[in-house]
C-alpha cells in the first residue's frame, strides 16, 4: 500500500477532512459522496460546475447503448466492423489489430481498459446527435458527447465532452436502483463497471477485495474517478473529479486520499 505523503489528514469529521485536503490541493476539486443507506451525511463540493469529462463520459455512453438495445430488441453480441476513422492509438483493439467486435466486447473494453477505439464505434452505434435525447431521459443536466475520443482538433474548436459531479451522482443512483434498464441489462452494466482495471485513484489506498463499480477518466489537466462502493454494511456513491491538474500522479493520490477518508468513515 502506498503512503499518503502529499496530503496531511486533519480535522475530526469526514467532511472536514475532505475540505482540508481540497484546500491544500493546488488543483480544482469537485466531490460528491452519497450513502445509499444514509449511514454517513452527503457531501457536495462544486457539484454543479461543468468540466471536461475525459473518459467518465463512457459511463453514460454505456447506458445509452444498452438502453438502445433494450428499446430496439437489439443483439448485444452483434458484430460491428471497426472503421479506419475510429481507430485510436494505444487501445487494446488497435494493438490487437482487431477488425470487428461484438457490442459486448466493445462495451467491455470501453470500460475496463478505457479503450478509445471501442468507444468511437459505440458512439457511431448510438449516433452522436442522439446522445442528448438519451441524456435528457437520464435526467443529466449538463452532460454532453460532442466529439469522439482523442479528436483534439474538434476539442480545440470548442466541442468537448462534458459533465458535472451532480450528473454522475444522478446517473449512478439510477444504475444502482435499476431505473434506466431492465434487470438483465442493468446487471450487465454493473458487471462491466465492476471489472474496471484501474486501481490508481478510488482504490489506491483501500483493499483490493473492495468491490467498486466505477470509471476513471484522465487527460493532461484532469483526473476523475467515480462509482459505487459495495460493502457488506451498505453501499455508497463517490465521485472525485480533479481539474486544472499540473501533476497527474498527485491528482490520483488526492482522489485516493479522499476515497480512503470516506471508506474509513463508513467502516467505523
CATH number of domain containing 43:
3.40.710.10
- Does 5 map to a domain? no
pLDDT in tens, 131-158: 999 999 999 999 999 999 988 788 788 8
End-to-end CA distance of the chain: 20
pTM beyond 0.85, yes or no = yes
- Does 1 map to a domain? no
Domain count, the chain: 1
- Does 3 map to a domain? no
pLDDT confidence tier of residue 12, bands split at 50, 70 and 90: low
The residue ranges of DSSP E strands in the chain, in sequence order, are 28-35, 43-45, 51-52, 79-81, 100-102, 162-163, 211-219, 222-230, 236-243
- The whole-chain average pLDDT of the chain stands at 93
- Does 45 map to a domain? yes
For the cut 90, the answer to whether the pLDDT of residue 30 exceeds it is yes
Q: Which domain holds residue 193?
A: 14-267
Predicted local distance difference test score (pLDDT) of residue 11: 41
Give the integer Cα–Cα distance in Å for 212 and 228. Answer: 5
- Does 167 map to a domain? yes
The position carrying cell 503512503 is: 3
- Does 4 map to a domain? no
% of the chain exceeding 90 in pLDDT: 84
Lowest average pLDDT, out of 5-19, 64-78, 217-231, goes to 5-19
Amino acid at each position: 500500500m502506498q503512503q499518503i505523503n502529499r496530503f496531511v489528514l486533519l480535522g475530526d469529521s469526514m467532511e472536514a477532512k475532505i475540505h482540508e485536503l481540497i484546500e491544500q490541493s493546488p488543483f480544482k476539486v469537485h466531490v460528491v459522496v452519497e450513502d445509499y443507506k444514509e449511514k454517513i451525511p452527503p457531501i457536495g463540493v462544486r457539484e454543479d460546475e461543468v468540466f471536461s469529462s475525459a473518459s467518465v463520459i463512457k459511463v453514460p455512453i454505456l447506458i445509452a447503448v444498452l438502453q438502445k438495445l433494450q428499446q430496439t430488441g437489439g443483439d448485444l453480441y452483434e458484430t460491428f466492423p471497426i472503421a479506419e476513422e475510429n481507430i485510436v492509438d494505444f487501445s487494446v483493439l488497435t494493438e490487437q489489430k482487431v477488425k470487428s467486435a461484438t457490442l459486448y466486447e466493445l462495451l467491455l473494453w470501453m470500460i475496463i481498459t478505457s479503450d478509445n477505439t471501442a468507444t468511437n464505434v459505440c458512439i457511431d452505434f448510438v449516433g452522436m446527435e442522439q446522445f442528448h435525447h438519451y441524456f435528457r431521459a437520464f435526467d443529466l443536466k449538463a452532460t454532453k458527447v460532442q466529439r469522439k475520443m482523442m479528436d483534439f482538433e474538434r476539442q480545440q474548436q470548442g466541442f468537448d465532452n462534458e459533465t458535472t459531479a451532480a450528473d454522475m451522482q444522478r446517473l449512478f443512483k439510477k444504475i444502482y436502483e435499476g431505473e434506466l434498464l431492465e434487470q438483465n441489462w442493468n446487471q450487465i452494466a454493473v458487471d462491466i463497471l465492476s471489472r474496471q482495471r484501474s486501481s490508481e485513484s478510488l482504490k489506491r489506498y483501500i483493499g483490493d477485495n473492495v468491490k467498486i463499480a466505477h470509471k476513471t477518466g484522465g487527460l493532461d489537466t484532469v483526473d476523475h474517478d467515480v462509482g459505487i462502493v459495495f460493502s457488506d454494511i451498505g453501499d455508497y456513491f463517490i465521485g472525485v473529479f480533479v481539474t486544472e491538474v499540473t501533476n497527474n500522479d498527485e491528482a490520483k493520490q488526492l482522489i485516493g486520499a479522499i476515497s480512503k477518508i470516506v471508506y474509513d468513515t463508513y467502516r467505523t
